[in-house]
Amino acid sequence: MAGPLLAIRDLKVEFSTRHGPITALDGISLDVMPGETLGIVGESGCGKSITALAAMGLVPNPPGKVSGGAILFDGEDITRANDARMRQLRGAEISMIFQEPMTSLNPVFTAGDQIAEAIMLHQNVTAAEAWTKAVDLLKLVGIPEAERRASAYPHELSGGMRQRVMIAMAISCRPKVLIADEPTTALDVTVQAQIFDLMRDIQAEFGVALVLITHDMGAIAEMADRVAVMYAGRVVEEGNADAILDHPLHPYTRGLIDCIPALGKVDANADVMPPLAEIPGVVPPLHLLGKGCAFADRCPLVEAGCRDSRPEMTGDKHRVACFVTGSKA
């Protein structure tokens, strides 16, 4: 098998805040193979979005900066690439879909204009050719009456359609990696399913590698080949989606999976519905992290040694960073 298309190696991202510098990403390593779907899952504030922005070279600076590690795209370390090179890569090789289709399109230009713009940034085509391509892309992402919708302004489109426009923009130059940062969080459930279908089809057609960032284990089960679970700026578990969903090793992953309210799981004869599962507590503020495992305070399996040092990733194919369950793997 060929090497990874996108390889993140021991990446550190720091932010300066009024609490002093905090480490938003603390040495994460991830591989994205060509054409596969990597799911990155975790609660808000785990560093998922920062990982995505880092891969695009878009960590807001100041206050943030990549302070260590490397991001290798096709073997090229993009943390060291200059601005001009980064602009070539963005959109053309790596592109991104954002969470809020309401705010990620420019309100004063039409959908077609914005897609054509993305095309003209990377391809040597005339405005008219770019417009034709934009309309074709709108058809490809399943927008009815694409010719007319192309001249619609974002506020005239529904959330689902706007997200389709975003996808059309992101794939306009046939990137090799598509990063989707919670692409369906802001959408209705039925529309979510449509968007996932669309993304799967686009992946099949273009062979693009998809990095799907979500907090929804259901979406992971549906879409991902491999999964990385993030907690407090670190990857705590990584492996094949099936393995992780069926046999989660990290107590945090288990907690996330238990949080899915599955319809079939409930005993239909029970008088009282069982309470919804939850993970007690919240992600600790990053400036208050101690020297121990960041999950220790919320962990049902916590042991004496957990608060003394950080667990490292162990295991081969299915890797986990946990003192309790890791040793058994």
Partner 1 sequence: MSAKHEMSTSRTAPEAISPLAEAWTVFRRNKPAMFGLFLLFSIIAFVLYGTFLYTGDPFDIVWAPHTMPSEEAAFPLGTDYLGRDLLAGLLTGGGPTLAVGAVAALITVVIGIAVGALSGYFGGWVDDLLMRITEFFQVLPALLFAMVLVTLFSPSLVTIALAIGVVSWPQTARLTRAEFLKIRELEYVTAARSIGARNNRIMWKVILPNALPPLIVSATLTVGVAILFEAGLSFLGLGDPNTMSWGLMIGSNRSYIIEAWWPVTFPGIAIFLTVFAVSLVGDGLNDAFNPKLRER
Binding site for partner 1 (CB under 8 A): 53, 56, 58, 62, 83, 87-92, 95-96, 98-100, 103-110, 117-118, 121-122, 139-145, 148-149, 151-153, 156, 158, 160-161, 164, 166, 169-170, 172, 194, 197-198, 201, 205
Rounded to the nearest 10 degrees, what angle do helices 127-140 and 111-122 cross at? 120
- Helix then strand then coil, % of the chain, to nearest 5: 35, 20, 45
Whether the Cβ atoms of residue 306 and residue 323 lie closer than 8 Å to each other = yes
Closer by beta carbon to partner 1, 173 or else 301: 173
- Cα distances (angstroms) measured from residue 44 to each of 84, 103, 310: 32, 19, 21
CA distances from 117 to 170, 208, 284 (A): 12, 21, 41
Closest approach, Cβ 24 to partner 1, in A, equals 16
Longest dimension (CA), the chain: 67
Nearer to partner 1, 153 or 284 (CB): 153
- DSSP secondary structure string, 204-240? HHH--EEEEEES-HHHHHHH-SEEEEEETTEEEEEEE
Q: In the complex with partner 1, which residue's Cβ is closer, 145 or 312?
A: 145
Nearer to partner 1, 149 or 254 (CB): 149
Instruction: Please report how close the Cβ of residue 225 comes to partner 1 at its closest, in angstroms.
Output: 20
Q: Which is nearer to partner 1, 195 or 235 (CB)?
A: 195
The distance of closest approach from Cβ of residue 143 to partner 1 in the complex, given in angstroms and rounded to an integer, is 7
Nearest distance, CB of residue 198 and partner 1, angstroms: 5
What is the chain's alpha carbon radius of gyration, rounded to the nearest angstrom?
21
| Contact in structure between 257 and 217 (CB atoms under 8 Å) | yes
| Residue 63 C-beta: closest distance to partner 1, Å | 11
Please report how close the Cβ of residue 181 comes to partner 1 at its closest, in angstroms. Answer: 10
Q: Which is nearer to partner 1, 186 or 324 (CB)?
A: 186
- Both tokens of residue 244? 């992780």
Checking DSSP bridges between strand 6-17 and strand 20-32, what pairing results, if any? antiparallel
180, two tokens: 């989707």
Q: Which residues pair with 181 in a beta bridge?
A: 213
* Cβ 117 to partner 1 shortest distance, Å: 8
The amino acid sitting at 186 is: A
Report the residue number, 213 or 294, with the smaller CB distance to partner 1: 213
